[in-house]
Chains A and B, each alone.
Chain A
């Protein structure tokens, strides 16, 4: 069904659940390292393996991170809350229950304001943010789908078991109409930027440290009751969030328009074609038999602690953007371009490293954006740091590089040839600033073009252009053209 047609008949309703892995040094309930990518089952102990007799001890830093996230999302912080056990069997869950929060989350009832591409602000309500532990990872070998069904055997890695997670759940998002997919992407983007500013997570969707589940349903225009929803799991990039919501809207629209019913189920997002496919059915909603975790004591954060944490909140990304826009004297449109290019923080860091905002902006939104597009990566994923860009800018300002040479230096950095100064040396890219060598080249060019030399001597300075061009050619562009012109005139007036 065409997207417009869906919207002519239905209102989309969204609910987004985001899981964030915290970047604490250790796991949620034990002293094991919390690090991505270790050899399987090397970051484990009796507690995170759920061995008989083991007990959890709560990571205080994780609680602080949870409260800071809650505060940054304008939530209330619970005066008293507990963990609960969520009981279900799965091989990658060592205890066959997940220690999580249930009806007593640490943070609840907040909101996040998002800016869409055209500058419109949308407020998304936050239902709750609660703490829980991550599960291990299963690798299903030998099946067609990589899922447990049809696999020959499965491998289990418990390094991730017990990694601290915060689950952030939105209130239902209604009334966004055609912009629902964009709102979903903008929400996850804003949340990612916020979490990055807080410094509580690596927020790498590709590594699973930020994971989004998108609940989507449609209700016929003018109706009050929500339709049956589906939950699309583990959508692993910002772009995928938008695609998944859009796909579900059109899929559900087609089903409903054809007189069918939406099945309440989990769906899997297919990165390759942007579709979703049916997963576990949820019609008999699973009974997790929650009850308060008896191995942990309740958490009762004092109001002093909460206020102290509120004081540690960094400048929020949207506040920072406002300030930066003013500092750099940009129009709303110019700034939005910068935002949409994903360049704000990169430019800001480049400025922090000593560059002017105009130069930094120019590099990131033009040449580097082109390079990112060529490589089909996000700007931030280019293998060049703001500090390196700032260094290139300063080499140009010092007259050691021309703009053309500077681009070559950047190419070298992107190609992994090292720091800008190393690339200059390795590629022999320094501006020829030795006046002796330049003078010789100028004399040579003048001797080869006696007519022009005569004209210059006669006062026709404009004729110097040809000589400058020849010198630049002779020095393979590594001379400073301005200096060459000065020398040409000097040699013709002696």
Chain B
């Protein structure tokens, strides 16, 4: 019998639709897989067995009664990052601050998944409030990379990438503020997409850095990511920054790309993203990927984006500034953690004690950085200046996309590092997002597709493809073509997990 957990989402949906299997059976096999391996990888913070089986049953009932499927992904299980609210299901954002909080409402992404008949298996682990590149900042312990459980699965969405790479779910949702979908995808050999800012609603996405946060699809194939993108994307009146335009035709682009022909496509290689700090095996994998793209008919040119060099420092001013304001609401007054409220302390004292106890070190670091950067007398030099850099980076992208259709680079400078290796060195941790941050600052779409394994450590490497705003389909086409050119999926080369 076929192992249902090894199939793609598209294959599963087809088998459910044709009653070759049922949504309940598919869901149960993934729940079984989670039971079997999650203790080794810790992808999930919460497993919603009843909710998942209930949703699967509803899909099966619909099919039995002859109704057309709610979406091309009806009945397919999914792992949801714990930063999106789920009515009646705990949402912690990987923080002690929200331990036990059960939201009274669904995020728009959650609601669209439910409406599409997608089965939500549970909530995945993440760096606290999405701050980090390894899940080591989760208050509930790190997730582990299925390629090597001593290594990080990326972050902040390491739970989602782990769930995919451990075959616990064929689909996942991540959120990407500086690379939190793409970098975990790169280091686990899976596909991660950050859509155009405003392309997927942020309503119900617990805000970290509002002008940068973007939810997006994660999967093991480009087509699966595209199918999921079309389910969650599109205008939402509840999010003022949501774009009122049709979802780019990403599924059609993924299918077109699968033919492997990139004739007439102009691809720019960002010259700034190489050299010192890049692992040689990552660069070799990247160079080979570029040659592959050339071989499929694409025209390759080198493109310089000089201001990308300033992206990281600008990001680490804007992001903590917005974070310091967004996380102010966690004050013990209305929900979540409350400590030291013994009747003798003032509201202010309880707030301070709760924030001291409830936030981890990285969250506190960013709140302090942001509070400082926004303070009177520093605002212009820090936040104001960073916004100017942001404009310059957007201009670099505009100029580049005047010459080429998409840009490519390594997704992240190194393969998965060891758990504990960078926890005491925030700067080293921040460098993991060096190549991914520019797309967040400009609001343009970008994805990571596996480009193979690094020849020195045998770990997955990601190829980043970046496109202009609202042209998400371009990167899907290129990524699907690249994926089709490879000898099978990179993720299928992952070893079986050893479960204690």
Query: Which residues of A are at the interface with B, using a C-beta cutoff of 8 A?
Result: 46, 49-58, 85, 87, 89, 91, 94-97, 148, 154, 156, 287, 289-291, 294-297
Pick 23 A–B contacts, CB within 8 A, sort by A: A51-B103, A51-B105, A52-B98, A52-B329, A52-B330, A52-B335, A53-B207, A55-B239, A57-B237, A85-B325, A89-B331, A91-B331, A96-B328, A96-B331, A154-B347, A289-B325, A289-B375, A289-B376, A291-B321, A295-B207, A295-B241, A296-B240, A296-B241
B213 closest partner in A (C-beta):
A294
Interface: B210 (CB within 8 A): yes
Q: Which of B84, B104, B204, B376 contacts A287 (CB 8 A)?
A: B376
Could you tell me if B374 and A289 are in contact, using CB atoms closer than 8 angstroms?
Answer: yes
- A294 to B204 CA separation, bound complex (whole angstroms): 15
Interface: B457 (CB within 8 A): no
Could you tell me if A46 and B375 are in contact, using CB atoms closer than 8 angstroms?
Answer: no
Given A87-B374, A89-B331, A291-B374: A55 in contact with B203 (beta carbons within 8 A):
yes
- A48 to B322 CA separation, bound complex (whole angstroms): 19
A293 closest partner in B (C-beta):
B210
- A289 to B325 CA separation, bound complex (whole angstroms): 9
Could you tell me if B241 and A94 are in contact, using CB atoms closer than 8 angstroms?
Answer: no
- A296 to B242 CA separation, bound complex (whole angstroms): 10
Q: Which of A55, A87, A296 contacts B238 (CB 8 A)?
A: A55
- A294 to B351 CA separation, bound complex (whole angstroms): 25
Q: Which of B328, B346, B351, B379 contacts A97 (CB 8 A)?
A: B328
B372 closest partner in A (C-beta):
A289
Q: Which of B200-234 contact A (CB under 8 A)?
A: 202-207, 210-211
Q: Which of A51, A53, A97, A294 contacts B84 (CB 8 A)?
A: A53
Could you tell me if B240 and A291 are in contact, using CB atoms closer than 8 angstroms?
Answer: no
- A192 to B322 CA separation, bound complex (whole angstroms): 38
Could you tell me if A289 and B371 are in contact, using CB atoms closer than 8 angstroms?
Answer: yes
Interface: B315 (CB within 8 A): no
5 shortest A-B CB distances, which residue pairs?
Answer: A96-B328, A289-B374, A294-B210, A294-B211, A53-B204
Given A54-B203, A289-B375, A291-B325: A46 in contact with B240 (beta carbons within 8 A):
no
Chain A hits for B101, CB < 8 A: 52
Most buried by B among A53, A58, A148: A53
- A201 to B238 CA separation, bound complex (whole angstroms): 26
- A54 to B14 CA separation, bound complex (whole angstroms): 35
Given A91-B347, A289-B325, A289-B375: A52 in contact with B331 (beta carbons within 8 A):
no
Given A85-B325, A289-B375: A295 in contact with B103 (beta carbons within 8 A):
no
Q: Which of B91, B211, B241 contacts A52 (CB 8 A)?
A: B91
Q: Which of B100-124 contact A (CB under 8 A)?
A: 101, 103-105, 107
A192 → B minimal CB distance (Å): 32
Could you tell me if B238 and A57 are in contact, using CB atoms closer than 8 angstroms?
Answer: yes
Interface: B423 (CB within 8 A): no
Extra inter-chain contacts (16) besides given A52-B98, A96-B331, CB under 8 Å: A51-B85, A51-B105, A52-B329, A52-B330, A52-B335, A53-B205, A53-B207, A54-B105, A55-B202, A58-B240, A85-B325, A97-B328, A148-B346, A289-B376, A291-B325, A294-B211
Interface: B165 (CB within 8 A): no
Chain A hits for B371, CB < 8 A: 289
Q: Which of B84, B241, B325, B374 contacts A297 (CB 8 A)?
A: B241
- A291 to B267 CA separation, bound complex (whole angstroms): 37
- A153 to B98 CA separation, bound complex (whole angstroms): 24
Chain A hits for B210, CB < 8 A: 294-295
Could you tell me if A57 and B374 are in contact, using CB atoms closer than 8 angstroms?
Answer: no
Chain A hits for B374, CB < 8 A: 87, 289-291
- A55 to B238 CA separation, bound complex (whole angstroms): 7
Interface: B397 (CB within 8 A): no
